[in-house]
Structure formats: C-alpha cells, structure tokens
Chain A
Amino acid sequence: MSTPAGMGPSGWRGARRLAGVRRAFAPVAEARGLTRSMLWLGCAITLVFVAIALFAPVVAPYDFDTFEADGSRFAQLEAPSWDHPMGTNVQSTDVLSRIIWGTRTELKVVLVSLLFSISIGVPLGLLSGYFGGKLDRLLVLFMDALFVFPFLLLAIVIAFLLADRVGQGILTAAIAITAVYIPLYFRVVRNHTISIREEPFVEAARALGARPFTIIRKYVFFNVVQNVPPLATLNAADAILTLAALGFLGYGIQPTQGAEWGYDVNRAVSDAASGIWWTGLFPGLAIVLLVVGLTLVGEGLSETMNPVLRKRPTGTVDFSSDSGSEAAGS
C-alpha cells in the first residue's frame, strides 16, 4: 500500500486483477497527516480489543463470575492489588476478568446486530430506491417513523418485550440494536441508489436488455456498497454505546449469561457514594476506548472516502522525467 495508484506501467500490468481493490483502497493509502494517524491509531485500538476477545480464556485471570479461588472467597469491593489489578466488586468477582470477558460479549452482540441490520437495510434500500413507486413511499414513511423515534427507547421497548420470549441474552440485545439501525442503512442506500439509477451506464445496461435484478446486482450494488464500510464502523461504535446503555438500564445481557460493561457501570453507581472508584472507572474506560477506536477508524475512512473532505498528498511534479506525469512524491 505504499505506492499510490497510477504508478509505472510495469507495476500496473502485474496487479491488474487487484486493480479494483487497489482503487477502492487508494484513498486510504493516499491519506496523510492527521487523518492517516487517526486511521492507524483506531485500527490498533480495535485490533487489541479483538485480540482480547478472541483470547479471553487465556488472558483473563478468572471466569467472569468467579468469586473464589483455592477455596477462599475473594474480598468484597477490594481495592486494586497484585491479586486483582482492578479490584473486586460487590459480588467479589474480579473486575479485570469481567472486563476481558465483557469484550467478548460486546463484540459478539455488535457483530450480530451489524450483520442483521446490513443484511436487512441494504437490500430494502436497493429495492426501494431502484423500483420506487408505492412500496418505496410506504417504506420511506415507515423507516422515517422509526428514525425519528428516540433510538434508545426503541431498543429498550424491544428488549423489554423480547425478554419474555427469547430471554435476556445476546440475541435479544442484538435484535433490539438491529431495529435501531436498519433505517440508517435503508436511508443511505436508498438515496444513493436513486442517484445511481439515473446514471448513463445504468441506462445503457437497461437499453441492452438487462433485467432489473441483474442491473441492481452488477451495476448498482457495487457503487452503492462503498458507503457501507465507513457507516458500519461508525455504526459499530454507536451500537456499543447502545448495548452499554441497555445493560446500564437492566435490559441488556442477563448477568448470569455473560459480563457486560454497561451493567457493571450500573452496579458501580451505588459504590460511588462511598468513594469506591474502581468498579465503575475500569468498565467505563473500556467502553470509551473501544468506541474511540472504532470511531477513529470510521471517521478516518469517511474522511478519506468523502471527496469534499479528502486531502490528497501534495507533491512536486517532475516534468523533465518521462516516467509518468501523475507520480506523486511524498
């Protein structure tokens, strides 16, 4: 990724198959300065959390609900020490272990809910935008209604209702969060589809007799789907906040099913009055760090992809050499 797009002819020929991928990533490779460092910092933070989630059984000193070791119960609300680097909480469980296992919960829920909301929102947006008509109008009204609704309330009510049927687990939380974000993908994809639909190349395909679904699949989809990665990353950050909020209010993951940061912060509110800081500070910091990481990636991506904000590297062009006029010196 060190060489920007448009290099010498020999490199171009070798990488013909990857040209599309390379072109898509060109803005990322071209990113400079603050944007570039934001992007890398964000990726680093996110990857650390992903690693923690993957290797939780190895990294975590105890299970998320372990309150004793070697037959003796841990002290309640013990301040950070060598045995418990982040202290213990009211239930005598190790705060550090809960945070590590919590990483797993957060990432699982967010991944599931992103998959759900993208796989529902994007196709609906494509169909609605491409075909228009009554279906479009109806869907837009419905999605707008969902969109104006305070998102947290929607998630709470859905989690509350599902809790009776499905139980308070990862699936319930993921569905509640999915419902919140479908309208977002629908909107972005639909509006973009409408503008793509009028492009000459789509009209050409239509004139050649391509069927609607072929056009959507081959011509519209890839143009529209470029918007999704930055959106999904920012969305993942938001979803973590929503999950934590659900957990804080008691409508997230059942405490017996897994550790969840928002729930832990809620339990820490009553500790705060007596000046106990470690039960709330660490899970809260975990939320902030992960969300910051994802936001940096998302912002960096959208800033590099958005032509209005994009800053290309400025370099001197050497007109005397014949190796190509586009070469950008950095």
Chain B
Amino acid sequence: MAAQGTSLRQYALTRLALVIPMVFILLTLVFLLMRVAPGDPISAALGGRVPKEEVEKLKAELGYDRPVYVQYADYLASVVRLDFGEAITDRRPIGDIIKENGAATLELTFYAMVVALVVGVTFGLLAGRYRDTWIDGGGRLFGIVVYAMPVFFLGLMAQLLFGSYLGWLPTSDRASPITQATIETHTNIYTIDTLINRDWGAFVDSVEHLVLPAATLGLVTAGVFIRLIRVNVIRTMKDDYIEAARARGVDERAVVYHHAFKNALVPVITVVGLTVALLLSGAVLTETTFNWPGIGRTLILYLQNRDYTAVQGIIVVFALVVVAASVIIDFVNAYIDPRIRY
C-alpha cells in the first residue's frame, strides 16, 4: 500500500491530538480533588504552627487569596510551562523532587520491569504451551499466588528471610550511608552513577540494596504477564495459520516457537504500557516497605504533612507520565500492526 507512510503519520497526529483533552481532564480532576479539601493549602499545611498574619501573607504571596478560576487558569498555565511549583512545608521545588526522587523510582521500576518480563514471559509461555499439564497448573498457581501477594507483604517476608534471618542483603535505603555520602551524582540513578565514577565497591553496594525491592516489585507484577501470555498462547494455538502450518508438515516445535510464541507476545507490548500505572502504584508500596527514597514514598511523606501543593505537583507528574506511556505504547503498536489506524 502506497499510503502506508502518511496513514501512520496521520494516526500519530490524531493520537497526539486526543491526548490534549485527556490531559486536560486529568489536570482538572486533580485540581478539583485538591480544592474540595476543606480549607486552603497554606492553613492545612501550617495551620496552628504559624501566626495568622504569617499565613495570610503566605497566602497572598502564593496567590491563594485570588478567585478559584484565576488559580485554575494559573495552574494550567504553569503545568504547560512544566513548572510544578514548590512544596509549602519545606519549600523544595517539585522539579527537584522529580529529578532526585524520581530517578530513584525510575531505577527501581526499571529493574522490576526486567524481572517481571523475564519471569512472566517464561512462565506464561510454558503454561500456555503445556496447557492442562502440571506445568500449566504450577505456572497458573504461581501466577495467582503472586498476584494475590500484596507487594508489601512479599517485601516484608523477603526482609525477614534475607535480611534478619540469613543476613545476606540490606533491607532499606538505596545504598549504605558511606556510599550515599560519597557518591558523585550525574543521573541520580546509582547503578549508572557508580559505573560512571568507576567505583566498583559502591556499585556492588547499590546493586545489593536494589535486589530485594526490585525482585519484590517485579515478581508481583509478573503475575499480570503470566496470565495474559498464557491466554494468548492458547488462543494463538487455535488460530487457522497454526493449523495451516501443521498441515504443511511444519515440525511441531517450529510451529510453537516460530509461529505461535511470536504472535502471542505482541500484546505484551500493550500491557507493558498499562503496567506502568501498576508499577507506579506498586512503587509507592515497595518504597514505603524498603524505605526507598523514591517519588512514591516522598508523596506519602507530603501527604502526612498535609502539603497540598507538593501532593498536587507530584500527582500531576504521575498523570503525565502515565499518559505519555500510553501514547508511546500506542505508537509502537501502530508501527508493528498496520491494522491499527483511525
């Protein structure tokens, strides 16, 4: 088809255009949610601890004495400028929080995703291929148990076993205090920074700290992949072209490995995108369990301090990340599968 190139571009543009109302709705939702809360953000965060005049002054300074619609317009404008303001309680710019704590979350979720994919694809393919055998039973049971396991409970058990009982691995923080004090940061991703610095001791240290949180979050996420891939393999094995391949006399192993598995794995790309939201939710819990200084734990800390601007800023960033992930996944899907067009 000659029009292929233009139609892909068209798809991409339409998809991008559709992002705007989605982001707009999300931003409005966040704004509304944060504003239904009783009182204004300043009194909520500082109420009782600071004299009244001080609160009024701060309110005027940060613009909370203006009408709500002006605040709303201002908020939208600042998000467009990618300026998320600063926390009320400790005056830390949200941008810095995202850069520093966000990097910790990125590191954790990336390795967790690797674990999830390796475990999920392996077990999913096996369970689907050997349907209704003990492999399938075991794989599915594993999938269900892992799905049913709250990430914080698995984390706690891992801490008990590998931390306090066996004493093999550290159970909290990103690195030992000495590494944290001496590390020269470039990206704030420790496993990369230590490599850039060629500091092997620190590298091993940060990897050791990463093992338990990443494995915990990854294993729990793997359940999603196991279920999905298993069903896909079963569905694919029933397809006509598999029958056709068999009828042509293609070796059964080739049918399974070359024809069925590949196609069964295509939807995984979509799910990786959807999993980003799941991983972020899991990261909040994992970070709290392992005292990992990521953006999720930071959010919980600010929630406890009733710091509305910080909470709002972090949630907006979360929303933008999730939307961006879904757009990217749709692009990849459209690129792979020419049937996906508007």
Contacts and interface: CB of A to CB of B under 8 A. Distances in A.
A212 to B, nearest CB: 28
Pairs A-B, 6 closest by C-beta atoms: A152-B281, A291-B148, A284-B153, A145-B25, A275-B164, A150-B280
Contacts of B328: none
A148 interface: yes
A66 B156 CA distance: 26
B15 to A, nearest CB: 13
A145 B152 contact: no
A221 interface: no
B267 interface: no
A244 B150 contact: yes
A262 B155 CA distance: 13
A152 B284 contact: yes
A134 interface: no
Interface stretch (A69-77, A90-98, A192-200, A264-272): A264-272
A249 B163 contact: no
A150 B318 contact: yes
B285 A269 contact: no
A288 B148 CA distance: 5
Interface in A260-283: 262, 265-266, 268-269, 272-275, 277, 280-281
Given A33-B132, A34-B137, A262-B150, A148 B277 contact: yes
Nearest to A158: B33
Indicate the size class of the contact surface on chain A.
Answer: 35 or more
A308 interface: yes
Contacts of A280: 153, 156-157, 160
Interface stretch (B52-60, B86-94, B253-261, B319-327): B319-327
A289 B280 CA distance: 25
Contacts of B278: 150-151
Interface residues of B, number: 54
Contact of B144 (A250, A272, A277, A296): A296
B206 interface: no
Interface string B100-144: 000000000000000000000000000000001000110010001
B231 interface: yes
Nearest to A293: B148
Given A34-B140, A149-B26, 10 more contacts: A141-B25, A144-B22, A152-B285, A153-B315, A266-B152, A272-B156, A272-B164, A280-B153, A281-B160, A292-B145
Instruction: Describe B's contact surface by its main secondary structure.
Output: helix
Instruction: Describe A's contact surface by its main secondary structure.
Output: helix
B11 interface: no
Given A153-B281, A248-B288, A292 B148 contact: yes
B150 A287 contact: yes
Interface string A146-161: 1011111100111011
Contact of B322 (A150, A241, A251, A265): A150
B25 A295 contact: no
Interface string B218-256: 000000000000010011001000000000000000000
Contact of A245 (B144, B164, B231, B285): B285
B76 interface: no
Given A153-B315, A245-B285, A142 B150 contact: no
B196 to A, nearest CB: 31
